[in-house]
Each structure stands twice: as structure tokens, then as C-alpha cells.
């Protein structure tokens, strides 16, 4: 099996970042000088993905504009000798074959993924959440693609999280796989578990590879936590029919979908930016001195 396609659900309402997200999609908020969504697309491309479907909604057309050519802007940059910037602006639209589809009703992540079935057809595909940025030395999606291709099955990205935080994520029941210390077999999953439902501190975080079997599970998936069609519920059902791997991936994960998470991401990326890192460090040290 070969994973060539990816789906990026970015159709959520982003209510935790209001009022900014009233008219700016959270996926378009900048992390230093690039929108979150560009980092996510670049991770997919570095993982060998050629075709990308971005799920959007009626108030998020700026995402389509961003991945299109902008001849007027390019011309202006070139006219003033800013060739490199003009090439970079053009390069964004050439990153991959990107198509867009609207999720007409915001019924949940599971529903968003189900909307992608005509795009993926009978091929396996990756899913990358549009507001989660990952900075693994080896792209996190590639880590999942390699596991999924080796075993010929679905794979989800998972990490151990603090047990008192697990209620914000999902909890996994899993078992070891012979000869593997980072890859496990997923047995069950519960989204936003109550304390008495917790299986473990192992949770799925933002990256997935699925066989088309996920659509069979999603086709009749009932609404779950929060009244939404939950992807986790469909994964739990898929795991009872097919092998699903939980890959304890390497790399850091940044959730840009809430204010503290977004601010943390901006500061971390600014610190590691070749252009602004030195400035950011000095600024933080100066602020720390002022505050102490
Ligand atoms: P989140 O729950 O983090 O996004 O969904 P949200 O619903 O936009 O956030 P809040 O709670 O209102 O602040 C995770 C990912 O799934 C997408 C979101 O865009 C995000 O990338 N999503 C969620 C959809 O594409 N469609 C949905 O119906 C729900």
C-alpha cells in the first residue's frame, strides 16, 4: 500500500479563538510569518503526499486564495527586484495539488473526514488536523505513513499525556506488538473520557493514516461527545474490524486552536527562527528582567 493523498480538516468554527476567528480562520493565523495551514501542508508534502484535500466552510475562503497564484503581487515584487520573495509567493501555490471542499454543516471531525470519501476513493490516506503543528525531525505524518505501509493498515499518531489532562483528549486501550517499542495495536478508544472511563494516558494527537475502512465506520457513526460525529468513535469501531496501529511518534506537537496554545507556538517558532530567533531571545530576557 502507498499513501499519496491527504485530507486536512479545517472547517471548524474555532470558537476558542474568538473574536479573531469571526472572520479569520484559525488555520490562517500566522506562526511568525506563515499561516498555521502552510506548516501543515508542508508536513504533508515532506511525507510524500502529492494530492491534498482541504475541508473548509463558507467563511474561510481566504484559505483557497492563499494556495492560489497572485500574479499582481508577484509582478509588483519582481518589478522592485524582490525576485526571491516573488518565487516564494508563487511556490506556495505549487507545494502540492491542493483542492478544496466545503463541509456544509459543522457536524464534527468524523463528519469532515467522511466528506472526503469521493476524493480518496479506495486509496489509503493521511489526515492532518489543520490547527495542529508538529515539528518532528522526521515529519510525524511520515512516521505514520511508514508504519501504515509496513503493516498494510491504519495508523494513528499517539502520545502519553498527563493523566489529569486526558479528559481533554481521548484515551486508548492498546497492546504491544512483537518486536516494536513505539508501535502498538489499538484496541479501543474513548473521546474526552470521564474519570471512570480512562483506559490509559495514551491519546491520539492530530495525525492519522486510514484505509478506506474508516468510511464504513463513519457511514453510520452516531453523534458522540458534544453531539458531534467523533472521528475517535469511528476509529474505535474500525479497530474492532481491522488492525489499527497507535504510533508513539517523535516530535513536538503544538495545538494552535486555543489562546495559550497559539501564543506558545508563536514564541517557540519565533525562538527557533533563523531570522527572528536572536531578537526574540533578547526580548524575552529583557522582559524577564523587567518582571523579576
Ligand atoms: P476542533 O474541535 O479543534 O476545532 O477540531 P473547532 O471545532 O474549530 O474548535 P472550537 O472548539 O470551536 O474552538 C479539530 C480539527 O477538526 C476540524 C477543525 O477545523 C480542526 O482543524 N473540524 C472540526 C472540521 O473540519 N469540521 C468540524 O465539523 C469540526
The pLDDT of residue 160: 97
What is the distance in A from the centroid of ligand 1 to the CA of 211? 22
Provide mean pLDDT across the span 254-270.
97
CA-only gyration radius of the chain, Å: 20
Q: Which class for 63: exposed (0-12), middle (13-18), buried (19 or more C-beta within 10 A)?
A: buried
pTM: 0.96
Task: Please state, for a pLDDT cut of 70, what percent of the chain lies above it.
Answer: 100
What is the distance in A from the centroid of ligand 1 to the CA of 51? 22
Provide mean pLDDT across the span 187-208.
97
Instruction: Delineate the domains of the chain, giving CATH numbers in brackets.
Output: 5-257 (3.90.550.10), 258-292 (no CATH)
Question: 22-25 long-range CB contacts below 8 Å, 24 or more apart?
Answer: 23/59, 24/62, 25/56, 25/59, 25/60, 25/62, 25/63
Task: Please state, for a pLDDT cut of 90, what percent of the chain lies above it.
Answer: 99
The pLDDT of residue 19: 97
The pLDDT of residue 136: 86
The pLDDT of residue 2: 95
Mutate to test the pocket of ligand 1, among 11, 12, 132 (most ligand atoms within 8 A of CB): 12
CA atoms within 13 A on the CB side of 214: 32
Residue closest by Cα to atom 7 of ligand 1 = 12
Provide mean pLDDT across the span 178-202.
97
Q: 4: pLDDT confidence band, cut at 50, 70 and 90? A: very high
Say if CB 113 and CB 218 are below 8 A apart. Answer: yes
Residue closest by Cα to atom 18 of ligand 1 = 12
Residue 147 β-bridge partners: none
Q: Tens digit of pLDDT for each residue in 49-83?
A: 999 999 999 999 999 999 999 999 999 999 999 99
- Helix ranges (H only) for the chain are 36-46, 62-66, 71-79, 83-93, 109-114, 117-120, 140-151, 213-219, 231-241, 259-271, 277-291
What is the distance in A from the centroid of ligand 1 to the CA of 249? 22
Mutate to test the pocket of ligand 1, among 43, 109, 115, 253 (most ligand atoms within 8 A of CB): 109
Provide mean pLDDT across the span 214-231.
97
- Strand pairing report for 51-56 and 5-9: parallel
Residue closest by Cα to atom 15 of ligand 1 = 129
Q: pLDDT at residue 250 above 90? A: yes
Peptide bond into 19 cis (omega under 30): yes
Ligand 1 pocket, CB under 6 A: 9-16, 55, 103, 106-109, 111-112, 129-131, 257
Cα(115)–Cα(124) distance, integer angstroms: 15
Mean pLDDT across the chain: 97
Q: Which of ligand 1's atoms lies nearest the C-alpha of 132?
A: 21
Q: Is 128 strand, coil or helix?
A: strand
The pLDDT of residue 221: 97
CA distances from 118 to 66, 115, 154, 155 (A): 24, 8, 19, 21
Amino acid at each position: 500500500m502507498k499513501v499519496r493523498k491527504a485530507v486536512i480538516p479545517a472547517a471548524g468554527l474555532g470558537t476558542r479563538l474568538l473574536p479573531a476567528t469571526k472572520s479569520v480562520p484559525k488555520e490562517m493565523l500566522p506562526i511568525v510569518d506563515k499561516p498555521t495551514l502552510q506548516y501543515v501542508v508542508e508536513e504533508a508534502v515532506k511525507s510524500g503526499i502529492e494530492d491534498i484535500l482541504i475541508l473548509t466552510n463558507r467563511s474561510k475562503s481566504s484559505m483557497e486564495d492563499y494556495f492560489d497564484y497572485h500574479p499582481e503581487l508577484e509582478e509588483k515584487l519582481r518589478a522592485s527586484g524582490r525576485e526571491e520573495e516573488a518565487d516564494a509567493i508563487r511556490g506556495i501555490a505549487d507545494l502540492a495539488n491542493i483542492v478544496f471542499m466545503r463541509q456544509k454543516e459543522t457536524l464534527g471531525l468524523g463528519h469532515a473526514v467522511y466528506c472526503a470519501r469521493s476524493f480518496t476513493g479506495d486509496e489509503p490516506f493521511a489526515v492532518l488536523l489543520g490547527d495542529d503543528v508538529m515539528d518532528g525531525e522526521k515529519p510525524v505524518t511520515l512516521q505514520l505513513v511508514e508504519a501504515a505501509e509496513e503493516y498494510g493498515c491504519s495508523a494513528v499518531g499517539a502520545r502519553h499525556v498527563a493523566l489529569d489532562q486526558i479528559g481533554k483528549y481521548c484515551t486508548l486501550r492498546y497492546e504491544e506488538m512483537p518486536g516494536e517499542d513505539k508501535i502498538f495495536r489499538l484496541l479501543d478508544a474513548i473521546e474526552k473520557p470521564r474519570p471512570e472511563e480512562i483506559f490509559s494516558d495514551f491519546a491520539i494527537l492530530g495525525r492519522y493514516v486510514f484505509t478506506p475502512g474508516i468510511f464504513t465506520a463513519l457511514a453510520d457513526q452516531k453523534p458522540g461527545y458534544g453531539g458531534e460525529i467523533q472521528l475517535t468513535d469511528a476509529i474505535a469501531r474500525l479497530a474492532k474490524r481491522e488492525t489499527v496501529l497507535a504510533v508513539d511518534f517523535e516530535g513536538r506537537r503544538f495545538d494552535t486552536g486555543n489562546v495559550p496554545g497559539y501564543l506558545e507556538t508563536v514564541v517557540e517558532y519565533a525562538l527557533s527562527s533563523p531570522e527572528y530567533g536572536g531578537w526574540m531571545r533578547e526580548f524575552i530576557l529583557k522582559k524577564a528582567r523587567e518582571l523579576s
